[in-house]
Amino acid sequence: MLRSRILGTGHYVPPKVVTNFDVMKMMETSNEFIVERTGVRERRHAEPDVAASDLGALACRAAVANAGLAMDQIDLVIMNTITPDHADPGCAFFLQAKLGLSGIGVLDVRQQCAGLIYGLSLADHFVRAGTYRHVLVACSEVLSKRIDGSYDGRNIAILLGDGAGAVVVGPAQDGQGAILSTILHADGSMARCLYTAAPGSALGRREHVTHDDVDAGRVHFRMDGRAVFENGVARMSEAVFESLEANGLAMDDVDVLVPHQANLRMLEAIIERTGFPREKVYINVERYGNIASASLPIALDEARRTGMIRQGSRVLLVAFGSGFVWGSALVRM
């Protein structure tokens, strides 16, 4: 039976480092508050003329090179972002043009922080079915352009960073690594716990966006912090155990756990709840903040480049995001 594997990984983060003290100049907060609540000490912000597709293209080129492929060997591009270049069409089209891949299929997904998990699942199924040979999955975010430093928005704003990560999925040969499982979940009844109301067709009017939407903050993220934290910890912890059970494995059989880098306190709670050894968990949220969908592929690529993930390592990826959406991917590298 044909199996797929991750052939290459890549990432890119902007060079501009924004510390908590820089954030203090944007809104009423403090370094002590940010560190205590989130564990974040710094993040990266892109320049104003940089779009999600720009960051994504750099990460994609790194991943394709890491896979030992030429760009023209890519058969399909899947992109996830909540900070697209434009309202429409999908951001994957702008990314495709910058990669010089005119003519191949592209697919946008909107799975927020679980974008890599969903993208890997789609790519895995396409490759195993023989539909495509090499699938490029990109997650790119420019969250600095969605910062709201008001009282209602700063609980999210203190977390946000920019960056992009990508993976190339292709066929696995005997004795090589493989995508062992992908498990996907969602609960739309909780969607308004973390969402942006405007623009939207559910607002009960004909106007797409109004000045009142801006003044009232409806164009910015709004979050029920307690609900997001509690569900994030519960769902990512469940995803760990569900993946182990589905694959008939014990905790010791997993070499590295790479979770979505939402918030250091959330990651500490997941480690405590699951009992997963802290030294086998890759964490970089202190340096990058929360980059939504880009957090997971950036962490995966960094863990490979630092040597924490080696050839043959069994790696468990888990994520949780607004929607609510969550899931896992177990891979052997």
Contact between residue 149 and residue 26 where contact means Cβ atoms under 8 Å apart: yes
Instruction: Kindly report the length of the chain.
Output: 333
Give the residue carrying structure tokens 């190339």: 168
| 120 and 240 share one domain | no
Q: Please determine, for residue 321, whether its predicted confidence score (pLDDT) is greater than 90.
A: yes
Q: Do both 14 and 47 map to the same domain? A: yes
Last residue of a domain, which of 142, 175, 208? 175
**What integer pLDDT is reported at residue 264 of this predicted model?**
97
Does 310 have pLDDT greater than 90? yes
**68 and 165 share one domain:** yes
Of the residues 123, 150, 175, the one at which a domain ends: 175
- Regarding pTM above 0.85, the answer is yes
Question: What does pLDDT average to over the chain?
Answer: 96
Query: Is 260 in the active site?
Result: yes
Arithmetic mean of pLDDT, 22-35? 95
Instruction: Return the pLDDT at 260.
Output: 98
Q: Residue 97 belongs to what domain range?
A: 3-175
**Percentages helix, strand, coil for the chain, rounded to the nearest 5?**
40, 25, 35
Same domain, 33 and 119: yes
- Helix (H), strand (E) counts: the chain: 11, 13
Q: How far apart are the first and last CA of the chain?
A: 18
- For 268-301, b/e burial (b = at least 16 CB within 10 A) is ebbbeebebeeebbbbbbebbbbbbbbbbbbbbb
Which is the catalytic residue, given 113, 139, 155, 220?
Answer: 113
Tens of pLDDT, residue by residue over 250-289, are 999 999 999 999 999 999 999 999 999 999 999 999 999 9
Check whether 5 has a pLDDT greater than 90.
Answer: yes
Q: Quick one: what percent of the chain has pLDDT higher than 70? A: 100
Domain boundary among 123, 156, 175: 175
pLDDT tens-digit series, residues 35-48: 999 999 999 999 99
Residues 166 and 212 in one domain: no
Domain count, the chain: 2
- Average pLDDT for residues 75-81, to the nearest whole number? 98
Do 221 and 157 fall into the same domain?
Answer: no
Both 233 and 155 in a single domain? no
The beta strands (E) that lie in 98-235 are given as: 105-109, 135-142, 162-172, 178-186, 194-195, 222-223
Could you tell me whether strands 314-321 and 256-259 are parallel, antiparallel, or unpaired per DSSP bridges?
A: parallel
pLDDT digits (tens, 9 = 90+) for 132-190: 999 999 999 999 999 998 888 888 999 999 999 999 999 998 878 999 999 999 999 99
Q: What local confidence, expressed as pLDDT, does residue 173 receive?
A: 86
153 and 205 housed in the same domain = no
| Same domain, residue pair 50 and 159 | yes
State yes or no: is 290 an active-site residue: yes
pLDDT of residue 86: 96
- My answer on whether 197 and 72 are in the same domain is no
* Confidence band of 79 (pLDDT split at 50, 70, 90): very high
**pLDDT confidence of residue 174:** 80
- Write out pLDDT tens, residues 208-251: 999 999 999 999 999 999 999 999 999 999 999 999 999 999 99
CATH number for 100: 3.40.47.10
User: What's the pLDDT score for residue 261?
Assistant: 98
Among 45, 193, 260, 263, which one carries the catalytic annotation? 260
Specify whether 325 is located in the same domain as 184. yes
Q: How many CB atoms lie within 10 A of CB 1?
A: 3
> Do 274 and 126 belong together in one domain?
no
Active site annotation includes 139: no
